[in-house]
Structure 1
Amino acid sequence: MVTQSAGSGQTQSGSPTEWTPPTGSWASSAARRRNMQAIRSRDTKPERVVRSLLHAQGLRYRVAAKPLPGLRRTADIVFRPAKLAVFIDGCYWHGCPEHYVPPKTNPGYWSDKVARNMARDRDTDEQLRAAGWTVLRFWEHDPAEECAVKIAATVSRLRKTGEG
């Protein structure tokens, strides 16, 4: 008996077949699906570089943590005592005004997805600020050194003023 696993593009015997997307999939091809699944949601290179610079300055923080227990969203870097949440947003996924390029394949889905991400980002900022948190957002293309300087200065200010 020869069966095909959902979306694999191959039968169990290893022979290639016509690719069919899994039920409910947004992927337009097997290659696109593999590409999209490989995109990291955390520990991206811009995040790692900024964290490394902060760590070298002696700052300690939480990575990919929920700033508020009831909020189902995570910040890239969290300084809990200072109540500082840092986000390093990808240009495509968060609609960077400088670098976002609308998709050519399945534009309705992806443009709506980016718009939902942007609305969620604004909502996250509002909820955190309402709970007394400071929110810093950077784009992935922002120089890591400048991000680290601004984050360190904000942590220092919040600790000195007793805001966090």
Structure 2
Amino acid sequence: MRGNRGYDTGPEMALRRALHSMGLRYRVNTRPLSEVRRTADVVFTRARVAVFLDGCFWHGCPEHYRPVQGRNSEYWRSKIARNQERDRETDRLLEQAGWTVVRVWEHEDPVENAKRIETLVRRD
């Protein structure tokens, strides 16, 4: 488990580089709402946009996730289901507080996602 980084992963860095090259400035690994113990990967506080870059395995990507077979398969199935439920709860809490939530899969093109995020951040 030690090899699984919590932040500054390759996909996160690629997305942040793309956002930065567009002139966007943001906070990294920050709680959008201080009272909710959930950390977004990229946060635009003024625009109230929270970006979560989800790993295909840990968040159960419909395209790439393959259930673990073998000894602890039930543990992993339950773990991924809890992660997905927590993601839905986080989205709901942030949206109720007036935030826009963006979920990005690790396998998606960072430049395309940065363009989509830019339109949300720069809207008036």
Which one has more relative contact order, counting CA pairs under 8 Å at least 6 apart? 2
Report whether the alignment pairs 1:71 with 2:36.
yes
Secondary structure in structure 1 of the residue aligned to 2:16: helix
Aligned residues: 123
* 3-state SS of 1:42 partner: coil
* Greater share of strand: 2
The counterpart of 2:98, out of the listed 98, 113, 132, is 132
What is the TM-score with the length of structure 1 in the denominator? 0.74
Alignment of 1:68-147 (within 5 A): 68-105=33-70, 106-147=72-113
Aligned residue for 1:37, secondary structure, equals coil
Percent identity of paired positions between Structure 1 and Structure 2: 54
Match of 2:2 among 37, 56, 81: 37
The runs of 5 or more residues in structure 2 that have no matched partner are none
Q: Looking at CA atoms only, which structure, 1 or 2, has the larger radius of gyration?
A: 1
TM-score (norm 2): 0.97
Structure 1: runs of 5 or more not aligned:
1-35
Q: CA–CA distance in 2 between the matches of 1:154 and 1:57?
A: 13
Runs of 4+ in 1 over 6 A off after TM superposition: none
Aligned residue number for residue 14 of structure 2: 49
The CA RMSD over aligned residues, in Å, is: 0.7
Per-residue deviation at 1:96? Answer: 0.5
